[in-house]
Amino acid sequence: MSSILLLIIIVMTIWKFFIPCTLLNKSKKNYNKEFYLKKDESHQSEIIKNKKFFNSAMVYFDILKKHLYLNKLSKEINVYNHIVCQGDVLSEILKKYSSDGIDSSGVSLLLQQYPILRKLEAGQILSWMMITKKKLQCLVWNIFPQEIRVYNRMHASFTEGIIRILNQLNNSLYPAILFTGELNGTFIDSARSLGIEENYIIDISNALQYQLDFRKLRQGDRFAVLISTMMDRSYNVESKLLGARLYTSGKNYYIFRANNGKFYDREAVSLEGSFIRFPTLKPFRISSNFNLNRLNPVTGQVSPHAGVDFAVPIGTPVFSVGDGEVIVSTYSKIAGNYIAIKHGCHCITRYMHLKKLLVIPGQKVKRGDNIALSGNTGRSTGPHLHFEIWINHRPVNPLTTKILNIDKLSGNERIIYLNQIKDIIPKLCFD
């Protein structure tokens, strides 16, 4: 009984993750080349026997395909599935399905990086994706009902991610899902390549933005993300981010969700600033820093730069960094299309050189609301976003100012929280 429940929850949870991607993909045309090899009689019976494995591997693999597709890595995608038989060897399996051949250097690289893939066992499910016919892009290995391994080709190498189903955490009746992965490229891309839902990636980035600089993360840094599942009476699965750990430069960074829905660290100190650090989903290169004493190289006169310039491509969504009210949304010769938002506490933020304004003066906005698309309007020498924070009528450096509510759990709430995370911390392990 409990294993059936588990299966339903896994499949439904994973399914839920992948719905937004499905909707996005409906409008794309060049993404429907899937090839499933005909299975012979013996394979058929194995499929039935292993239906549980098969379902979760297939559904999960779909998520990965969508994520990779969204990252625009692929022009032509072919997908294959195989149930491992006694004596099967990975390189032979991959070769067998590729009538046009396969880049064997990619396959040997994968096996060299992860020798564990030489230990396939009968009944396990393999799914893999080839790009432009010959290039192995992604391999999903369903080991047993509670573990799936994912190998993604990112840049010049493969990266392994592991998804585990954990039972009954914090006395919950329902399983939790643990994703562990390694950084290859940005944190956002690495987490996406494992199929972690976008909302959770943003929650983690926001909660940790004041403690670490995501641009300084390095290849090989590790992360673990724990998500709880719950089923209501109509069999809808609710999922929630319980906690996450990021390991970089010899240090661990943790976040946990308290019962009030907010994120705190191991000492129960709040991780939510009143502002998000960057007005874009990810931090972009800084093309000009905040500098009130900037000398104009031509005139030799001081011409202050009261904000920071991000090298943002035209059309990038721009977010309000905090809750507030739009006080300006207009065009000016110098600032181009620009927006000013008043946040209370004598604080104003300004966003300049925008392509498209999406809010009007008087409108109330929430932290993280999309207010504009970035551009290259006004006095601007190239596409960028100029961003300012003013406190008490004076500009401050948006990259170093701490506008953080120091909020700590106390009393009973703190005791409950610390008890909960005592269970979670050991689960956020990397091996």
Structure tokens belonging to residue 309 = 């310039």
CA dihedral 368, 372, 373, 376 (to 10 degrees): -130
Distance (Å, whole) CA 80 – CA 347: 55
CB of 392 to Zn ion, least distance (A): 21
Residue 138: φ, ψ to 5°: -155, 140
- C-beta of 234 vs 301, nearer to Zn ion: 301
Contact code string over 75-94 relative to Zn ion, x by CB under 5 A: --------------------
Q: What distance lies between CA 4 and its chain's CA centroid?
A: 29
Report whether 77 contacts 130 (CB < 8 A).
yes
CB of 402 to Zn ion, least distance (A): 22
Distance (Å, whole) CA 185 – CA 266: 27
CB of 133 to Zn ion, least distance (A): 46
Q: How many CB atoms lie under 10 A from the CB of residue 355? A: 17
Distance (Å, whole) CA 339 – CA 342: 10
- C-beta of 186 vs 291, nearer to Zn ion: 291
Report whether 286 contacts 362 (CB < 8 A).
no
C-beta nearest to Zn ion: residue: 386
Strands of 157-166's sheet, edge to edge?
A: 77-83, 125-131, 135-144, 147-154, 157-166, 176-182, 222-231, 237-248, 251-257, 263-264
- C-beta of 4 vs 298, nearer to Zn ion: 298
Contact code string over 379-408 relative to Zn ion, x by CB under 5 A: -------x----------------------
CB of 285 to Zn ion, least distance (A): 14
Partnered with residue 153 across adjacent β-strands are: 158
- C-beta of 82 vs 386, nearer to Zn ion: 386
CB of 331 to Zn ion, least distance (A): 17
Partnered with residue 130 across adjacent β-strands are: 78, 136
From the list 71-79, 84-92, 194-202, 301-309, the region that binds Zn ion by CB under 5 A is 301-309
- C-beta of 62 vs 309, nearer to Zn ion: 309
- CA 97 → CA 59, 86, 347, distances in Å? 21, 17, 61
- CA 143 → CA 54, 112, 196, distances in Å? 11, 19, 19
DSSP 24-77: HHTT-SS------PPP-HHHHHHHHHTHHHHHHHHHHHHHHHHHHHHTT--SSE
CB of 306 to Zn ion, least distance (A): 8
- C-beta of 160 vs 388, nearer to Zn ion: 388
DSSP-derived letter for residue 408 is B
CB of 284 to Zn ion, least distance (A): 13
CB of 90 to Zn ion, least distance (A): 52
- C-beta of 160 vs 309, nearer to Zn ion: 309
CB of 112 to Zn ion, least distance (A): 47
Q: How many CB atoms lie under 10 A from the CB of residue 160? A: 20
- C-beta of 53 vs 351, nearer to Zn ion: 351
Q: How many residues bind Zn ion (CB under 5 A)?
A: 2
CB of 216 to Zn ion, least distance (A): 23
Site for Zn ion in 217-246 (CB under 5 A): none
- C-beta of 129 vs 339, nearer to Zn ion: 339
Site for Zn ion in 161-200 (CB under 5 A): none
- C-beta of 153 vs 386, nearer to Zn ion: 386
Q: What distance lies between CA 177 and its chain's CA centroid?
A: 15
* Three-state DSSP class for residue 198: helix
Contact code string over 303-342 relative to Zn ion, x by CB under 5 A: ------x---------------------------------
CB of 307 to Zn ion, least distance (A): 5
Say how many CA atoms lie within 13 Å of 15 toward its Cβ: 11
- C-beta of 190 vs 374, nearer to Zn ion: 374
From the list 151-159, 231-239, 312-320, 378-386, the region that binds Zn ion by CB under 5 A is 378-386
In the complex, the residues that contact Zn ion under the rule CB under 5 A are: 309, 386
